[in-house]
Amino acid sequence: MTDSEKFFNHINEGYTTKGDFIVIGAAMLGEETLTNALVKIPLKTLNRHGLIAGATGTGKTKSLQVLAENLSEKGIPVLLMDMKGDLSGIAQPSPGHPKIDERHEKIGVPFNASNFPVEILTLSEQGGVRMRATVSEFGPVLLSRILDVTETQAGIISVIFKYCDDNQLGLLDLKDFKKVLQYATGVGKQEFQEEYGRISTSSTGAILRKIIEIEQQGGDIFFGEKSFDVNDLTRIDENGKGYINILRLTDIQDKPKLFSTFMLSLLAEIYETFPEQGDADQPELILFIDEAHLIFKNAPKALLEQLESIVKLIRSKGIGLYFVTQNPTDVPEGILSQLGLKIQHALRAFTAKDRKAIKLTAQNYPETDFYNTAEVLTSLGIGEALISALDEKGRPTPLAATLLRAPMSRMDVLTDSELKTLIKDSDLVKKYKEEIDRESAYEILEQKIKASDKEKEREEKRKEKEKSNRRASTRRSTRQNPVIKVLTSATFIRSVLGILKKFL
C-alpha cells in the first residue's frame, strides 16, 4: 500500500461520521490532493468553538465564508463580525470561474453557485438593523468589568443599580447612569447616605470619567432602546436556510472599548436568553469574530476573565464561537484551549519571532506521521489550510492539510444599490429603526433636582426676608421720638437736676 493510499484510509476513517456534517475540502499529501478524502465537520461538535488563523492574504475570510454558507444550508443561523466590510457578497450567488470548477473536481465535490439570506446589522449610524442594549440589561457586574473599575467603585455601581431598582428608575442609556451619579453626590446625598451608606465624590468622579471614555467611542449610540432581541439572530428563511447576520464594524476598528463592550454584552445576553440545549444534533447559532485580536488587545484582565468564562459555558446553550485572527497567539491561552475546530492557513517566517510563533502554533495540533507540521505551515498556498476538528465523540480528528472548497456566493462586496435594496427590504430594520427615549432615571431625577433647586431658592428667599425683617425691626427700635430724645438728653437731665437742687 502506497503512502497516499495509507493516508487516504487514515483520513476517511478519522472523518467518518454517523450524523449530519459539512464538507470543507479534501485532504492533501504533499502536492497531491486526494479526491474524495473529504474533511468533514460533524454538526454535533460545531458548538465546541473554533479558530481560523493565518497570515494576511492566505484565505481566512474565504474559509469563514465557506463555513457560514454551509451552516446556513443546514439551517443553522450565523452571526459574522465583519471588520473589513468584505462579507456582504454572501447575499449574491457566485458568478463562477473555471478555476473554481477545477478546484472542486480535485476535491470531489460539485460546485453549486448560490446566494443566502442575509441581514445587515450595525452598531452605529450606518444603514442596517440597529443593535442596542440598555444599561439595566448589562447589570452592575458586567458594567463594572467593562469600565475596569476598582472594587470600591464596583460597589458604588452596584448601589446605583440597587437604588434604581428600589425606586423604579429605568437605567436605559448612559445619561441615565450619569444623572444618578450626579444625584447621589448632590441633591440626593443625604438620601443615599441614610439608605446605602456614604458615597465618595472622588469615586463617582472616576466612574464618570470611565463612562465618558466609552461615550467618546460611540457607546452613547449603542446604549438605549429599542433593545435588540437576540432571538432575531436565529431566523430561518422560507427555504430552510439559516440567516447570515452580518454586523458591519468598519467604522469601529479604532474603538476597541466599544467592540469589547458590545461583544461581552451580546454573549452575556445570549447566554441568559437561550435555553440549555444538552447533547443536540446541531448548534443553535454560530458566531464568527473577525479580527479577534481587537477584543483581546488592551482588554482589562477582568474583561478577559469574563469572556473566558462565557466561552466555557455558552456551548451548553448550543452556541459556537469562532475567532478569526492572524496568529493563534492573538487568542489568550485559556480561550485557545477551548477551541475544538482549528483551520490554520499559512504563516510567514520572515523573522526569528515569526519562526518561534510557527513552532508554538505547530504544537497546538495533533501529532502525525504524515506531516512535518511546522514546515507545512509555511508552504500552504492560498485556499489551503491545516485542519484539526473534533469527531462526534469529541476526539481530535487526524491532522489534514486541506484544499478548501470555494464559496458558493460572491467573493466580493455588494454594490451600493444592492446594499440599499437589501436594507430597505428588511423587516428587522423597520422593527429597530425607531429610537425610544421614554421617561427614565434622567428625567425623573432631573425633576427632583429642579424641585430641590426651587425649594432651595424659596428657602434662601425666606431666610433673606427674615433677615431683612430683623434689620428693619432693629432700625425701628433704635429710631426714637424727638420728644423722648430731648427728655433723655444729658443737657435736659442736668437742667432738671439743677432746678430740683434749688427747691431742696
Q: What tens digit of pLDDT does each residue of 407-433 get?
A: 999 999 999 999 999 999 999 999 998
Shared-domain flag, residues 385 and 455: no
- 38-75 pLDDT, tens per residue? 999 999 999 999 999 998 889 999 999 999 999 999 99
pLDDT attached to residue 242:
97
- Residues 6 or more apart whose CB falls under 8 angstroms from that of 444 comprise 169
Asked if the structure places residue 81 within a domain, the reply is: yes
pLDDT attached to residue 485:
55
Shared-domain flag, residues 342 and 485: no
- Answer whether 74's CB lies under 8 Å from 90's CB: no
Shared-domain flag, residues 389 and 460: no
Shared-domain flag, residues 249 and 380: yes
pLDDT attached to residue 490:
56
pLDDT attached to residue 29:
92
pLDDT attached to residue 494:
58
pLDDT attached to residue 358:
86
Shared-domain flag, residues 384 and 285: yes
Shared-domain flag, residues 7 and 72: yes
Asked if the structure places residue 35 within a domain, the reply is: yes
**Which residue type occupies 453?**
D
R_g over Cα of the chain: 35
- In this structure, the strands spanning 285-289 and 78-82 are parallel
Residue 267, SS3 per DSSP: helix
- In this structure, the strands spanning 118-122 and 129-130 are parallel
pLDDT attached to residue 359:
85
Give the other-Cβ count within 10 Å of 198's Cβ.
10
Domain boundary among 369, 404, 439: 404
Domain boundary among 350, 384, 404: 404
Asked if the structure places residue 157 within a domain, the reply is: no
In the block, cell 475567532 appears at: 323
Q: For 43-102, give the secondary structure using H, E and C.
A: HHHHHHCEEEECCCCCCHHHHHHHHHHHHHHCCCCEEEEECCCCCHHHHCECCCCHHHHH
Q: Which of 7, 15, 30, 11 lies closest to 381, judged by CA?
A: 30
Q: Which of 340, 254, 264 lies closest to 304, judged by CA?
A: 264
Asked if the structure places residue 70 within a domain, the reply is: yes
Residue 316, SS3 per DSSP: helix
pLDDT in tens, the chain (504 residues): 788 889 999 899 889 888 999 999 999 998 899 999 999 999 999 999 999 999 888 999 999 999 999 999 999 999 999 888 889 999 999 999 999 999 999 999 999 999 999 999 998 878 899 998 889 988 898 888 888 889 999 999 999 999 999 998 999 989 999 999 989 888 888 888 888 888 888 999 999 999 998 888 777 788 888 889 999 999 999 999 999 999 988 877 677 677 777 888 888 889 989 999 878 899 999 999 988 887 777 666 767 787 888 888 999 999 999 999 988 888 888 898 899 999 999 998 888 888 888 888 888 788 888 999 999 999 999 999 999 999 998 899 999 999 999 999 999 999 999 999 999 999 999 999 877 777 888 888 888 888 877 877 787 888 888 888 887 777 666 555 555 555 555 565 556 556 655 555
Total residues found in the chain within this entry: 504
pLDDT attached to residue 311:
87
Q: Report the CATH number that the domain containing residue 50 is assigned in CATH.
A: 3.40.50.300
Domain boundary among 404, 425, 460: 404
* 470 Ramachandran zone, left/alpha/beta (phi>0; psi -120 to 50): alpha
- Answer whether 44's CB lies under 8 Å from 280's CB: yes
C-alpha cell of residue 461: 428667599
Backbone angles phi, psi at 241, to 5 degrees: -90, 140
How many whole angstroms separate alpha carbon 235 and alpha carbon 219? 27
Shared-domain flag, residues 463 and 395: no
The number of folded domains in the chain is: 2
In Å, how far are 165, 167, 194, 291, 442 from 447, measured between CA atoms?
Answer: 18, 14, 21, 45, 9
Asked if the structure places residue 494 within a domain, the reply is: yes
Q: Which of 104, 61, 38, 1 lies closest to 397, judged by CA?
A: 38
Range(s) of the domain holding residue 92 = 3-131+239-255+280-291+318-404
pLDDT attached to residue 480:
53
Shared-domain flag, residues 10 and 105: yes
Shared-domain flag, residues 340 and 489: no
Residue 38, SS3 per DSSP: strand
Shared-domain flag, residues 377 and 480: no
- Residues 6 or more apart whose CB falls under 8 angstroms from that of 331 comprise 51, 292, 296, 323, 325, 339
How many whole angstroms separate alpha carbon 381 and alpha carbon 204? 55
pTM assigned to the model: 0.84
Residue 36, SS3 per DSSP: strand
Asked if the structure places residue 50 within a domain, the reply is: yes
Asked if the structure places residue 437 within a domain, the reply is: no
How many whole angstroms separate alpha carbon 161 and alpha carbon 136? 8
Shared-domain flag, residues 15 and 113: yes
Asked if the structure places residue 210 within a domain, the reply is: no
Shared-domain flag, residues 361 and 455: no
